[in-house]
Chains A and B, each alone.
Chain A
Amino acid sequence: MSEKPYKKPLPRIDEESRGFWEALQRHELYVQRCRSCSTTRFYPRAVCTECMSSEVEWVRCSGRGTVYSFTVTHQNQAPGFREELPYVLAIVELAEGPRVMTNVVGCSPDAVTVGMAVEVVFEDVTAEVTLAKFRPVG
């Protein structure tokens, strides 16, 4: 955990998403799959929008993915981010299908490209919250 006070927005952990956040605390990345129609979905929610079923199971992800798009952010006035400019905001396509918003870390922002292979890295930002970020593979 960071020693400095954490200033970025924290997710609100609610009844629809608790399992996702609890898994991240264990450094595991999960998406949901509908037990009725097998549709995989992200972000987690209670009702399947394909078939309206409430029967859901959690599928553990490999943590592998590719950068679908990204931007190197040079300006953001929000506390927590303005101290870390520039940073890479990205959408990563997980090997399991869903595209998720994240940060690409562990490399120079200039090294990030669309299509780059990445893997998950878990960042414990508070006692309750761990975020799934991604870094280049290898």
Chain B
Amino acid sequence: MSIWGKVAVAGVYEHPTRYAPDKTQYQIHAESARGALEDAGLTLKDVDGLFTSGVGPIGILSLAQHLTLRPCYMDSQAIGGSSFVSHCLHAAAAIDAGLCSVALVTYGSLASSERFAVGTGGGFLGDPPDNFEGPFGPTIVGSYAMVAQRHMHEYGTTSEQLAEIAVTMRRHAGMNPQAKYRDPITVEDVLASRIISSPLHLLDCCIISDGGGALVLTSAARARDLRKPPVVILGGAEAVQHHGIGRRDLLDIAARQSGPLAFQRAGLKHADVDMCMVYDSYTITVLATLEALGFCKPGEGGAFCSAGRIGLGGALPLNTDGGGLSSNHPGMRGIFLVIEATKQLRGEKGAAQVKNAEIALCHGTGGMLGQRHSGVTLLLGRA
């Protein structure tokens, strides 16, 4: 008895804001919830499962109060930006098990208007591993940069190849009226932007925006009677990677564990995937993730991402909304991966539509790629 194919994403909403000093974080949660429930043709009264992240240790209780919800299932998974992709897996299991019937996932953040230094701030939590890292000044971008440096050393990957990923995301953002940055950029622009943490330049890094979004999940059977075509969860898996006792290969990332498991659970092959939504916190994140998921061999990511393959019209369009590199990144981008994939599978994307998109892969990365991070892979399909 598996849960795969039995639970659907029935409603999605991406908050249009990219800068909202006139709003609160919880307001963005609520406005996003309204949008996703309206998209599904459901109301707040139907919700009996609540999922969120980025709200503080018992913040989900505050969110329940703010929405006046009394759910019988709650999950405030906190594994970084991938948390919302993980919520979809957890909601699928909970709905199939009968623990809840309508799951609402919400996200809201004012990272931009509160001038929160997402990738280049301090961040010392005092957990055991932090004591052996924090004193030396790791930043989030620095952690990813060490993966990029090692990748360049082992495989000869170039800054030009990484830059091409940023250029492609910007091209996609040009087709998204809500994207924060829409003007085209070139490889030369990326290379000319200042170094934040070598070898990563400013334009290798995701932007910082405000924003939020919401998802509504329910059984595939119930979703068939709702407003929009259901998008079903065909398979998925989550993983964590870390240095353990100090032996880690920096290029062995969590996606190498979650990817094959997700494909196996869905009974799908890479060739079945029509498009990808891959967390693009940095250009290296995309390259390393595609390799780890098995779309190309280790070391071939640079060549794989060039020549238009991951652009709209290419063999494997990726981040068709412009991604975190150009559209929006309020700190934890995972929810937008599922929102965009759902819109693509419904055929709602107009000029940015991937033709005949039937299967989409989402992969969220959370935490610090060169230290501790999560990876969650989700395979979605038309019902």
Measured CB to CB, the residues of A under 8 A from B are 8-14, 16-17, 31, 39-43, 45, 49, 68-81, 87, 89-91, 97-103, 114-115, 125, 129, 131, 133
Contacts of B335 in A (CB 8 A): none
Partner of A73, one of B134, B139, B153: B139
Taking the complex as formed, is B133 at the interface, i.e. its CB lies under 8 A from any CB of chain A?
yes
Measured CB to CB, the residues of B under 8 A from A are 117, 120-124, 126, 128-139, 141-142, 145-147, 149-150, 153, 194-200, 243-248, 250, 370-371
What distance in Å separates the Cβ of A86 from its nearest Cβ neighbour in chain B?
Answer: 8
Partner of A69, one of B200, B247, B370: B370
A69 touches B150 (CB 8 A): yes
| 26 A-B residue pairs with CB within 8 Å | A8-B137, A9-B135, A11-B134, A14-B128, A31-B246, A43-B128, A68-B150, A69-B370, A71-B199, A71-B200, A73-B139, A73-B197, A74-B197, A75-B120, A75-B196, A76-B121, A76-B137, A77-B117, A81-B137, A91-B146, A100-B132, A101-B132, A101-B136, A101-B138, A115-B153, A129-B135
B149 touches A71 (CB 8 A): yes
A102 touches B136 (CB 8 A): yes
A72 touches B195 (CB 8 A): yes
B142 touches A71 (CB 8 A): yes
Given A42-B245, A49-B245, A69-B146, is A74 in contact with B135 using a C-beta cutoff of 8 Å? no
Contacts of A125 in B (CB 8 A): 135
Give CA–CA (A10, B126) in the complex, Å.
9
Q: Beyond A89-B138, A103-B137: 9 further Cβ-contacts under 8 Å?
A: A49-B245, A70-B149, A77-B121, A78-B124, A78-B137, A81-B122, A89-B142, A91-B146, A98-B247
Give CA–CA (A21, B200) in the complex, Å.
33
